[in-house]
Structure 1
Amino acid sequence: MSSASNKPRVLILGGTGFVARHFVKYLIENDLVSKIRVADKQLPKTAYMSDDLLNIYENNPLVEYKQANLSNPQHIKKAFEDSTGPFNFIVNLAAETRYGQEEATYKQMVYDISVNCAKEALNYISSIEKYIEVSTAQVYDSGSKASKETDKLVPWTLLAKFKAQAEEELKKLSPEFAKKLIILRPAIIYGPADLNGLTPRITCACTYTSTNEKMKLLWSGDLCINTVHVRDVARALWHLYTNTKTTGPLTFNLCDKNQTDQKKMNEILEKIFGIETGFFGTLLSQAAKLNMKGAADTANENHMLPWSEMTKQSGIKFTPLSPHIDKELLYNNSLSVDGSLIEKETGFHYEYPKMTEELILEQIDYFKKLNLFPNFTKLEKKK
């Protein structure tokens, strides 16, 4: 084991978010670093952290929390400044991750943050060994064919549009920065503390234990919603730091072997909640597409009422969880991703190659322990 002084100093931008908390835990549990600074505007104690995660953030001497609104360039400057020395490894996880926001919001909270953080990193470029920008696989054209890193970028969400623009800008900042840049494009990230990935589908399914109706989704079961577990994302961040050459910019997808689609997801939700599920099919879905906002509003209203009742009955005064699904995600856009390049080129392996009922239950239990997910009674299958 190397001495603490030889271990890297890590700066995590967006450091109290979903992926960041798992990355921090991985670094600490495996004794990999001499210091971690997490920079985020949200306090750890208000970020819906489990007790073990909060304990790491608040009590581990290697972890320093720096409150910073990274949409403010002055706060970015303070996030990088450290009297004890510069950071060797920087990971940018700071971004607006909710869907359905205004274009100006994504410009400021995705593109501007990414570019301004990278520009500040230029002041420390001689000390930086790797800079990882976490993007999204939604930057690729939608389709059933699994997207590879070299495929054309045709973003199909506003979030992805500004992620793609940020990627291109970062590559052009300076030749020295580009050599140290790694862009990571994950599929839908799920796992404990996920708010915007699979959780809206999970909470939506939960409401059907109350209504006892069949849950029907737009399009068909083979619509791809490819996934990757958050603990594999955390492992990949460190793996790329230690197992890649410094001749970037490098780009890697992250996607498990599950080939997750709507049917596979529904099968797990049926087992957990005892509900029936199905699909509207192409004809009815095409009709809904003519007024997708209206269709989305109606569906969300139908889900929000039972969800509100269930949380109230469980004594939950507030929860960030919601069955609301934005219309952007209801179109016939298939997220199909080839996540094999990182394995072939760096030796990375996925510890969670398949999405299982147990992993989704773990995700639900995380929120139940925080009193954020309501009690539900699994329905008995109709004979």
Structure 2
Amino acid sequence: MDKVLVTGGAGFIGSHFVKRLLKADDVSQVTVLDALTYAGHVENLGEAFLSPKLTFMEGNILDIPLVDELVGRHDAVVHFAAESHVDRSFLTAGNFVTTNVLGTHTLLDAARRLGVAKFVHVSTDEVYGPLVTGSASERDPLRPTVPYAASKAASDMVALSHFHTYGVPVCVTRSSNNYGPCQHPEKIIPLFVTRLLKHEPVTLHGHGEHVRNWLHVEDNCAAIELVLRAGAPGEIYNLGGGTDLTNKELTGHLLRLCGADWDAVHYVPDRQANDIRYAMTWSKLSDELGYQPHRDLMDGLAETVEWYRNNPGRWAPLLRNPAAPRAEIRIQPATEKEKRMSHA
């Protein structure tokens, strides 16, 4: 594993993974391909730009010539790039299908034609749909209920079909909810933290009884690296091992860490199609690849809150206009001439 292409590497999880991969002695080059939409920012990579191993390219995974060029120059692909916010998928479901399904197909088709040693497709536990009891294993059927999860389930099937039909060495990972520093403030933990730090109220849907499993982003990235290195092609790996909490329990921890009380919490009617509980087993990852998470939830939440407390310049502008690109930090894509020169 010498040269690795990471799509969506300027996003929350992708940027943490890139920083981890740059520390590996057997990796000589990490190329990030990111469209720098509202959730992707080069600041997430930060000190990673000090590494001579890192190359950044702004571009879209639907750009076939660009994807062909990049895939052809790398040994492995780790595919994070996706539309990922459930609420946004209610309003623009077509964008989720286009990016998550067609974008994934574009990458896989390039991998099929040009050849890669490993392709890791990063997915989510939400593809299994809600479970009132029990836990989903990798063998269970997919029952997504919202457009985001449906688009990810479809992309999983596209990825696995390229293994079974064409022999592309694909692995699929499905992780539970991630948390940690640098996450976009549309997600529940940074949303609540940033609002509480501004002494603003937060809202819980229904009675706050929805259950999610919370896994620190560094544990998730460690698991993805294990799959990249040792995962068997054609296999699915659930990446779990975090802590199950109701949204109300999670809110209580965040209130304490932010120095707020329950007066800051407002209850609102539940949204349509709000899955009550996600749960999955991760024994396959543990038994076959030796994975064990290491980050304690309480320590991880405290570290996360402290990051948002100390870095308002990173998240406050996003709250003002979260859909707008940060023009002053955008990196222009290379021209065709520059691309040809880079091969000289």
Question: What's the TM-score, normalizing by structure 1?
Answer: 0.72
Distance 1:78 1:179 in 2: 18
The 5 Å alignment of 1:234-253 reads 234-245=221-232, 248-253=233-238
Relative to structure 1, the CA distance from residue 131 to residue 366 in structure 2 (aligned partners, 3 Å threshold; closer, same or farther) is farther
Please provide the CA RMSD for this pair.
2.8
Paired residue total: 308
Per the TM alignment, residue 210 of structure 1 is displaced from its structure 2 partner at its CA by 4.1
Letter in 1 for 2:240: C
Quote the residue 2:130 is aligned against: 142
Distance 1:373 1:261 in 2: 30
Of 161, 164, 169, which aligns to 2:153? 164
Letter in 2 for 1:134: V
Per the TM alignment, residue 163 of structure 1 is displaced from its structure 2 partner at its CA by 1.0
Does 2:24 align with 1:39? no
Of 84, 89, 104, which aligns to 2:94? 104
What is the CA deviation profile of residues 23-82 of structure 1, one whole-angstrom value per residue up to 9, with x for unaligned ones?
A: 111122343401111112229xx81625xx32322x321111122221222332233243
Quote the residue 1:261 is aligned against: 246
Distance 2:261 2:167 in 1: 50
Question: What's the TM-score, normalizing by structure 2?
Answer: 0.79
What is the CA deviation profile of residues 253-280 of structure 1, one whole-angstrom value per residue up to 9, with x for unaligned ones?
A: 1123311222331221121232216785
SS at match of 2:243: coil
**Larger strand proportion of the pair:** 2
Contact 1:182 1:249 in 2 (8 A): yes
Letter in 2 for 1:88: D
SS at match of 2:83: coil
Of 38, 47, 65, which aligns to 2:56? 65
SS at match of 1:10: strand
Letter in 2 for 1:275: D
Worse overlay, 251-260 or 341-350: 251-260
Of 6, 9, 12, which aligns to 2:3? 9
Quote the residue 1:55 is aligned against: 47
Of 168, 173, 190, which aligns to 1:184? 173
Quote the residue 2:323 is aligned against: none
Does 2:293 align with 1:350? yes
Quote the residue 1:120 is aligned against: 110
Quote the residue 2:316 is aligned against: 372
Q: Quick one: percent identity of the two aligned structures?
A: 19
What is the CA deviation profile of residues 339-383 of structure 1, one whole-angstrom value per residue up to 9, with x for unaligned ones?
A: 332112210111225354423324424643636389xxxxxxxxx
- Greater Rg, structure 1 or structure 2? 1
Distance 2:308 2:64 in 1: 37
SS at match of 2:139: coil
Quote the residue 2:342 is aligned against: none
**Structure 1 residues without counterparts, runs of 5 or longer:** 1-6, 293-326, 375-383
Distance 1:266 1:124 in 2: 47
**Structure 2 residues without counterparts, runs of 5 or longer:** 319-344
Letter in 1 for 2:178: I
